[in-house]
Structure 1
Amino acid sequence: MQEAGTLTRADLAEALHHEIGLSRADSSQFVEQILGHMCEALANGENVKISGFGSFVLRDKGERVGRNPKTGVEVPIAPRRVLTFRASQMMRDRIVAAS
């Protein structure tokens, strides 16, 4: 696994292969299934909470008026659904301890 940069699906599958002993194909399939379940739940409007890691929360934002920073012209921004992530306290503590 990488020490710095971006953690990828392949990195997660490789970690499963080394730490649990699953074949590379099974590890990759396992990662894809987990991510697929998470995506499906979010697409169905459900929030996803992983204890000790954090929560993926869907929020509905109402219509509002924005401003073009270059021209100053007001522009209506349509209502939309956004995905936010909030790290658990345990995860925040681990990040602070690692820095």
Structure 2
Amino acid sequence: MTKAEVVSDIAKSTGVDKETTLAVVEAFMESVRESLVRGENVYLRGFGSFIIKERAEKTARNISKKTTIIIPKRRIPAFKPSKLFASRVK
């Protein structure tokens, strides 16, 4: 499902026009993005959590050049579904 399909589905179920719905969806995504950039997790009860995961530094190998490189630690965004969400998908 694309963002356009999500907007269309929400607009149809709520009766709100697509332009307003698109603005709300965009604002929601920007709010989540900015919270994660600041290092704050976003918790949506009954849906899931948008969290920041810390990846540890690790050593990797380039087999073709026979060299070893260090991959620095980094932060990545992740989504963890709620138990209710996960059970409904199963």
Same fold (TM over 0.5): yes
Give, in whole Å, the separation in 1 of the partners of 2:11 and 2:55: 41
Segments of structure 1 that go 5 or more residues without pairing to the other structure are 1-6
How well do the aligned residues superpose, as a CA RMSD in angstroms? Answer: 1.6
Aligned counterparts of 2:39 and 2:16: Cα–Cα separation in 1:
32
1:4 maps to none
**Amino acid of the structure 1 residue aligned with 2:6:** L
1:59 match: 53
Identity %: 28
Structure 1 segments, 4+ long, off by >4 Å, are 69-72
Residue in structure 2 matching 1:32, options 26, 33, 43: 26
User: How far does residue 70 in structure 1 lie from its aligned partner after superposition?
Assistant: 4.7
Number of matched pairs: 90
- Output aligned runs, 1:1-99, within 5 Å: 7-70=1-64, 73-96=67-90
Q: How many Å separate the matches in 2 of 1:40 and 1:87?
A: 20
Q: CA deviation at 1:75?
A: 1.3
| Structure 2 stretches lacking a partner, 5+ long | none
Query: In the alignment, residue 62 of structure 1 is paired with which amino acid?
Result: A
Q: Which has the higher contact order (CA 8 A, sep 6+)?
A: 2
Residues 12-71 of structure 1, C-alpha deviation per residue, up to 9 Å, x if partnerless? 211121111111111111111111111111111111111112111102223221223555
Comparing 72-81 with 86-95, greater Cα deviation is found at: 72-81
